[in-house]
Structure 1
Amino acid sequence: MANYIRFDWAMKRLLRNKANYAVLEGLLTTLLEDKVKICKLLESESNQEDEYDKYNRVDMLAEDSRGELILIEVQNNNEYAYFQRMLFGASKLVTEYINRGEGYEKVRKVYSVNIVYFSLGHGKDFVYHGKTEFRGIHEGDLLELSPFQRQTFKVDQVSQLYPEYYILKVNDFNRVAKTPLEEWIYYLNTGEVPEGATAPGLETVKEQLQLDRMSQDELKAYYRHLDNIVILRDNIQTERAEGRAEGRAEGREEGLAEGRAEGREQGIREERLKNATAMKAAGIPIETIAQITGLTVEEIKTL
């Protein structure tokens, strides 16, 4: 199975190219269960990156053919207040994209799509959808739009007027991909496209996001990014392990430090070996692979 560029890196460097919109359109069409056509990408105060964020998160704001706004965010690092940040981002878009003096009927629909590579909250599923509904506290009925409102706003339900949230907990996916959405989650998790995948956009991934399309400098930057991801995940796992062991492991400060360092080094080495194997399979010269990954020529030859 061929290896492809991870989605978060592609978001930073490749998917802003209009020729690659089909990748994003495929993901959104599969997730929203509605044909999505991206007209343009937008810049907003909500999706600016600072120096810390450059390896930690990626925001992309798109406008579809119906004028709806779609905020796509990738988050690699654990953030306990992430739910609130989702709310802040969607709310800010609502206010940014309405002109002063316009009526509230001009408020635009916002979708917040969040691809998180850490354990967010507590739940059994790997894809969650949130929307706003109003139910009577006495009768339990769902508040509906009037016929005039349906005709004016061209929607059927009150919830369609409000921001909707999608959370893709890709690290929690550990099954065989059988549906188009599962095929996408598999790619987001592993960087690989399942054999026989039919989900919209994944064919473009196979055509446009191959490792062997990257220059040597791009490959170096890409694998530094993967090393950072390994370190982030190792830190998260270490924090959990320390929390479970707290109170039972007195006097082992030095051992924990050594264990963290060894685990981090081992994780990075395993990732480099995996990447070197993929590059070797893609026909990249062994000497180039050695320069990019830091492995020796002899180590690469044995892969």
Structure 2
Amino acid sequence: MEQKDKYIRFDWAIKRLLRNKANFGVLEGFLTVLLGEDIHILEILESEGNQQREDDKFNRVDIKARNSKDEIILVEVQNTRELYYLERILYGVAKTITEHIDLGEIYSNVKKVYSISILYFDIGQGSDYLYHGQNTFLGVHTGDHLKVTTKEQGAIVRKLPAEIFPEYFLIRVNEFNKVAVTPLEEWIEYLKTGCIRPNTKAPGLEEARKKLVYYNMDKAEKLAYDRHIDAVMIQNDVLSTAKLEGREEGHLLGLEEGRQRGLEEGMKKGLEQGIEQGIEQGIEQGIEQGIEKGIVKEKTITARKLKSLNIPVDTIIQVTGLSLEEIEKL
């Protein structure tokens, strides 16, 4: 029974197992939960996205699907670990659109594309594990949503650009850290941990419990899968090590730069404070010396007047505090 609890990672299953029509139910359940409408897969399209090489450029699975409105749409499921990821999915969506319209066809045949990215790496900052993006046209001054007039089945209708332009879903698997309650949360839990609850009722997961069992694979499939898991773990370890080393190097560089700046600032402030203190002390000393010279001058004037009045020298010394030599020089 314990063996039945080990399930194949979704990133491997979507490349190797879920392209089989017998397993469409797993994908249909996942897309139904994510998009919020019944999705029925007609076929898996063969394109660069179905290449089996580890280093292929277009790591995606293209799915032609019918939604609950009986419209044919293209769903692009991507699962990669790459830099410049937004540029990558933009290129993938543009290529998917052009792959499915022939030269000379009218633009009404352009298919809507859903780009669903299952990310097992840190793409950037954000507090959520699921992000959705699509094109809208807002009035610059009024803030209203533009509706475009078009023709559909012989009738003139108005559509929002969001009904035509691609939609993007970014699932940041590693950011999911909560108890799964909703079907979507159960799916994200499986994407992160590989665990599926025995009593799950989430669309697609009940079927996944039967078809994505690790021990149901033959020996060659298990070997290939184990190598894939090892490669993922090694890659994550290399990236984590590089990130840690980068932080340490940045910390050391920051300390050195901080010391240098601190020394420069200290010298600058010390010089400024020294100048200020010097000026202040100079002013104080100047005032003191000025007062002292003024007192001496006043005593000299007083002694000269007393001497001109023939006042005895002893009396002049007592009054002014000047010495005998200073008085005789007057």
| 3-state SS of 1:71 partner | strand
Structure 2 residue aligned with 1:72: 77
Q: 1:151 to 1:218 in 2, by over 3 A?
A: same
| 1:60 counterpart = 2:65 | no
CA contact (8 A) 2:133 2:167 kept: yes
Per the normalisation by structure 2, the TM-score is 0.69
Q: 1:152 to 1:41 in 2, by over 3 A?
A: farther
Structure 2 residue aligned with 1:213: 216
Give the Å deviation of 1:241. 1.0
Inter-partner Cα distance in structure 1 for 2:171 and 2:76: 13
Inter-partner Cα distance in structure 2 for 1:11 and 1:197: 20
1:25-44 CA deviation, whole Å, 9 max, x = no partner? 01100000010000001023
Inter-partner Cα distance in structure 2 for 1:206 and 1:247: 46
Per the normalisation by structure 1, the TM-score is 0.75
Of structures 1 and 2, the one with the larger relative CO (CA 8 A, separation 6+) is 1
Give the Å deviation of 1:239. 2.0
What are the equivalent positions in structure 2 for 1:153-302 lying under 5 Å apart? 156-248=159-251
Structure 2 residue aligned with 1:99: 102
**Residue type matched to 2:115 in 1?**
S
**Residue type matched to 1:89 in 2?**
G
Inter-partner Cα distance in structure 1 for 2:53 and 2:200: 36
Structure 1 residue aligned with 2:308: none
1:164-214 CA deviation, whole Å, 9 max, x = no partner? 111111111111111111100111111111343221000111011111211
Inter-partner Cα distance in structure 2 for 1:215 and 1:153: 56
**Residue type matched to 2:175 in 1?**
D
| 3-state SS of 2:245 partner | helix
| 3-state SS of 2:215 partner | helix
CA contact (8 A) 1:26 1:199 kept: yes
Give the Å deviation of 1:137. 1.1
Inter-partner Cα distance in structure 2 for 1:152 and 1:194: 48
Count of residues paired in the alignment: 246
Q: 1:57 to 1:147 in 2, by over 3 A?
A: closer
Inter-partner Cα distance in structure 1 for 2:59 and 2:7: 18
Structure 2 residue aligned with 1:85: 88
* Partner residue of 1:139 out of 133, 138, 142: 142
**What stretches of structure 1 of length at least 5 have no aligned partner?**
251-303
| 1:108 counterpart = 2:105 | no
